């Protein structure tokens, strides 16, 4: 099974960025642990701070991979283009947010991804990616 985790803007700073909200572990460390926990899954990881690059990656994997775990970060709340990309592909997408966006500012309550996601996991910290992985 081929699954990719796609992380959006500022998530390259996990571990350093607002640790009270996002924790103190880097994504690279978490990802390596996740890969060793799921050796049977062909698991890859992509991060970009650039909206168009995220859309290109979704197009690239969206007709051949078995699953996409997408944390579009701030673009979740702003990007019609990313929402349309998720709508345009065949691979199921699970939307993940590390923090519980519904406990935060109202602008974080809207998602352009959610309507076309297979499911949504919010507020479980980095563990949300593992929960998403188990959902495929
Ligand atoms: C986030 C929540 C978003 O509102 C925020 O812009 C992020 C991270 C999360 O994982 O909790 O960058 O997607």
Q: Is 71 in the pocket of ligand 1 (CB under 6 A)?
A: yes
69's enclosing H/E stretch is strand 67-71
pLDDT at 45: 98
Q: What is the DSSP secondary structure assignment for residue 108, as one 8-state letter?
A: G
| Structural domain 2-134, CATH architecture | 3-Layer(aba) Sandwich (3.40)
pLDDT at 10: 97
Rounded to a whole number of angstroms, the distance between the first and last alpha carbons of the chain is 9
pLDDT at 78: 98
pLDDT at 18: 86
Angle at 36 between CA 118 and CA 131, to 5 degrees: 25
Q: Is 98 in the pocket of ligand 1 (CB under 6 A)?
A: yes
pLDDT at 17: 85
Q: Is 108 in the pocket of ligand 1 (CB under 6 A)?
A: yes
Distance set, CA 38 to CA 31, 32, 85, 133 (Å): 11, 10, 28, 9
Q: What is the mean pLDDT of each run of 10 residues along the chain (136 residues)?
A: 98 90 91 96 98 98 98 98 98 98 98 98 97 96
Residues marked as catalytic:
22, 97
pLDDT at 74: 98
Strand order of the sheet with strand 2-7?
A: 42-47, 2-7, 67-71, 93-97, 119-122
């Amino acid at each position: 099974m081929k699954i990719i985790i796609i992380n959006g803007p500022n998530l390259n700073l996990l571990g350093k960025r607002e640790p009270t909200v996002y924790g103190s572990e880097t994504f690279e460390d978490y990802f390596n642990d996740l890969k060793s926990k799921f050796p049977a899954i062909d698991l890859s990881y992509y991060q970009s701070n650039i909206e168009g690059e995220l859309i290109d990656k979704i197009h690239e994997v969206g007709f051949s991979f078995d699953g996409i775990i997408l944390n579009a970060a701030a673009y979740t709340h702003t990007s019609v283009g990313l929402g349309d990309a998720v709508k345009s592909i065949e691979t199921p997408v699970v939307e993940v947010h590390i923090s519980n966006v519904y406990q935060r500012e109202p602008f974080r309550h809207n998602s352009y991804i959610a309507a076309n996601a297979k499911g949504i996991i919010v507020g479980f910290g980095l563990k949300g990616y593992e929960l998403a992985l188990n959902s495929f």
